[in-house]
Structure 1
Amino acid sequence: MRLSELIGYLEAIAPLSYQEDYDNAGLIVGDYAMEVNAALVALDCIESVVDEAIATGCDLIITHHPIVFKGLKKLNGKNYVERVVLKAIKHNIALYAIHTNLDSVHNGVNAKICERLGLTGTKILRPKGNILKKLVTFCPVKQAEQLRQALFYAGAGNIGNYSEASFNVSGMGTFKGNEHSNPVVGERGIQEQTEELRIEIIFPAQQERKILLALFENHPYEEVAYDIYKLENAHQEVGAGMLGWLEEPMEGRDFLEMLKYEMQAKVVRHTEILPKKIRKVAVCGGSGSFLLKDAIAAGADAFVTADFKYHEFFDADQKLVIADIGHFETEHFTPHLLVDIIKKKFANFAIRLTEQNTNPINYLF
């Protein structure tokens, strides 16, 4: 299939607009119009992964971490980033990364960690703001239901566990068409009064074009009156980290042992084990120290993440247990998640998990 078809599907699940400002998710090497026959999925794109793609006939590599974070000024092969990019271009292999945008969605990286730990009742730890918009439009009562359904179908009106959500209030609209008009209601040159519904409906900002297209195609008026407002409301299904509950409370050490086993971690760096049992758990794949205050405010008993610095461990202040299992270890099930996501849509597409261990950190016991 064309690469654009696969990318369109992935970015419908994890839109690029959800990535952090510092990130570089998306298509890094390749042409959207190129045809791809097989994909290799890994956490990191290093030389051995590209070599594996060449050996197995994969013309696409999908990774969580982007190989290029900062701009490349030269391509001389002097470092591993340049060598990877050069080799991919030489062998016509596309490189695609789905990073903090996949971290941010409710069924992404952090959901996979929660699944491994058996957490239930999960929700986003720090919901993301400024990514929702509201459409307000005015429609004759008779055509309002058809218009609402078209907007729902286009992706508007979803709030948490609810869909087809809108607010409607009745009022009187007035208008007078000039000699060039073609009014649906009334006649040219005569002021018309008609009962209309004011329809308010929320939608994700990245779907604005699709929502407006549905509005214009399904609204009966020649001139459509509408307003779009940017909302500061946090999107409860998009954001950083997740929070969930264990089925049964666990002693601190038992929880850490379970965590180490389920996440296949070599080491767990942790703060003091507290007397209280652990039931509510916060998680964040990758570097998650920025969410410590959120985890404490949410009443978490433990916070599972990676890359905590020495002095940051003190910030737990005996309010919860910080469990740092390593960056790779928090995210190494992400490739499995990506394979599952892709197979749901493209069951016959050839996709394989890398056999390379891309963890740059080794442990001496």
Structure 2
Amino acid sequence: MKISELYAQLDKLAPFSDSEAWDNTGLLVGDMNAQVSGVLTALDCSIETIDEAIDKDLNVIVSHHPLIFSKMANVNEEGIGQIVRKLIKHDINLIAMHTNLDHQPDGVSHMIAKRLGYENTEILLQHQGNFKKLRVNITVDDKEEFKENMLNTASLGRMGDYSDVSFEYPVKGQFKPNDQANPTLGQSGELEFVDEYVLEFIFDGRDIKDVVSNIYKYHPFEEPAFDIISIDRKRDSGLGVSFECQTTLEDLKEKIEEIIKRPIVNLVKANDKAINKVGIIGGSGMSYAVEAFKEGIDVLITGDVKYHEAYDAKFNGQNIIDAGHYLEFLMKDGLKELIEKNIEVEVFASEISTNPFE
């Protein structure tokens, strides 16, 4: 398997196009034409992480946090330059899956929840989708071949966990070709009546050029009749997860500490109510707290909580568990499992701690 092939498979698991505009994801250091010897999943790429990959004879590190964020003026033995140099020296490829992985239903927040023992999660803050519906007229005789070609080659027909989705219904069509037309059916200047079907497919609006191109490629008519309609529908991706549980704030805090093997950073105890629904936003999630609590959660688990954010949360009756940004280290095993499940490649989870507070 080449790096390019691995990259394409990772893109299916967590599309890099789902990354935030400010983010820096994808192949940060490496060669798309190189062969993959194995993968190491990590939260961060440090010198020690590279040594671990070398020891295991792995030439791909898939990290959550991007090594390169801001503009680099030089690459030398200072700062992250020494890490970049070591990656290149040992032909190790570095791929970052950051906010694109955060936004998936089985992404980082789900991986954290799973390690806490809660596998049945739902997206906490679901994204509004840019969905379109294609409606295209096709003759009865050409319907099945056209439908098959569109589903096999165009980026459409996917709804959640289902593929090859389409709808169809019969209609009557009519047209009159002019003198310059070159009709597949009928004669110039004569009104033609045709038994047709309307085929309907849903697709991501970002793929509109691909879809239209394939209509003209596979439709037998010189001028296909089709409509593209915008749909107000949520995407199957978003930020954070939620899950149902019956516990107390103190018991949940102790459970987290038991899993991560250290005390949590801070606890905002705003009330003594029972905990029935928990929200998790890995990393720094307090800027989404207002929206998160509107989804009915009783406590938010996140990191990097500032004093005034905690003060406002307590004033508003919102329980917060600040487990630290490094809580995301639980994603190392989760990403390993996700890759192993979907890609035929040897994968290891890093055993190196990159916690800067240790």
Q: TM-score, normalised by structure 2?
A: 0.87
Residue 309 (structure 1) aligned with residue 310 (structure 2): no
| 1:217–1:114 CA distance, 2 compared to 1 (3 A) | farther
Displacement of 1:150 in angstroms is 5.0
Give me the whole-angstrom Cα distance separating, in 2, the residues matched to 1:301 and 1:32.
45
Give me the whole-angstrom Cα distance separating, in 2, the residues matched to 1:278 and 1:296.
13
Q: 1:219-266 CA distances to partner (integer Å, 9 max, x unpaired)?
A: 34344344445656431x2111112211xx212211221232234453
Give me the whole-angstrom Cα distance separating, in 2, the residues matched to 1:231 and 1:73.
45
Match of 1:352 in 2: 348
Give me the whole-angstrom Cα distance separating, in 2, the residues matched to 1:140 and 1:319.
61
Pick aligned residue for 2:321 from 320, 323, 326: 323
Residue 75 (structure 1) aligned with residue 75 (structure 2): yes
Residue 282 (structure 1) aligned with residue 279 (structure 2): yes
**Matched AA of 1:112:** M
Gaps of 5+ in 2: none
**Matched AA of 1:353:** A
Give me the whole-angstrom Cα distance separating, in 2, the residues matched to 1:134 and 1:264.
49
Contact conserved, 1:17 with 1:206, CA < 8 A, in 2? no
Contact conserved, 1:125 with 1:243, CA < 8 A, in 2? yes
Give me the whole-angstrom Cα distance separating, in 1, the residues matched to 2:145 and 2:118.
40
Q: 1:124-150 CA distances to partner (integer Å, 9 max, x unpaired)?
A: 222223543333322234544554455
Displacement of 1:37 in angstroms is 1.2
How is 1:1-365 mapped onto 2 (pairs within 5 angstroms)? 1-79=1-79, 81-119=80-118, 122-144=121-143, 147-148=146-147, 150-152=149-151, 156-160=156-160, 166=166, 170=171, 172-176=173-177, 181=182, 183=184, 185-188=185-188, 190-208=190-208, 211-212=211-212, 215-216=215-216, 218-228=218-228, 233-235=233-235, 237-246=236-245, 249-272=246-269, 274-316=271-313, 317-329=315-327, 331-347=328-344, 349-362=345-358
| 1:54–1:165 CA distance, 2 compared to 1 (3 A) | closer
Displacement of 1:157 in angstroms is 3.8
| 1:161–1:320 CA distance, 2 compared to 1 (3 A) | farther
Structural RMSD (CA): 2.8
Contact conserved, 1:27 with 1:96, CA < 8 A, in 2? yes
**Alignment partner of 1:332: what SS?**
helix
Displacement of 1:212 in angstroms is 4.9
Q: 1:77-126 CA distances to partner (integer Å, 9 max, x unpaired)?
A: 321x2111121112221110111101101111122123233446532222
Give me the whole-angstrom Cα distance separating, in 2, the residues matched to 1:173 and 1:46.
67
Is 98-107 or 171-180 further displaced after alignment? Answer: 171-180
| 1:144–1:299 CA distance, 2 compared to 1 (3 A) | same
Give me the whole-angstrom Cα distance separating, in 2, the residues matched to 1:301 and 1:314.
17
Displacement of 1:355 in angstroms is 2.5
| 1:160–1:2 CA distance, 2 compared to 1 (3 A) | closer
| 1:119–1:6 CA distance, 2 compared to 1 (3 A) | same
Give me the whole-angstrom Cα distance separating, in 2, the residues matched to 1:87 and 1:230.
48
**Matched AA of 1:77:** E
Contact conserved, 1:42 with 1:64, CA < 8 A, in 2? yes
Is 271-280 or 226-235 further displaced after alignment? Answer: 226-235
**Matched AA of 2:350:** T
Give me the whole-angstrom Cα distance separating, in 1, the residues matched to 2:174 and 2:286.
53
**Matched AA of 1:321:** N
Contact conserved, 2:41 with 2:61, CA < 8 A, in 1? yes
Displacement of 1:320 in angstroms is 2.8
**Alignment partner of 1:285: what SS?**
strand
**Alignment partner of 1:333: what SS?**
helix
**Alignment partner of 1:305: what SS?**
strand
Q: 1:267-305 CA distances to partner (integer Å, 9 max, x unpaired)?
A: 241112522100111111111112101121111101111
Contact conserved, 2:125 with 2:240, CA < 8 A, in 1? yes
Paired-residue identity, %: 33
| 1:231–1:16 CA distance, 2 compared to 1 (3 A) | farther
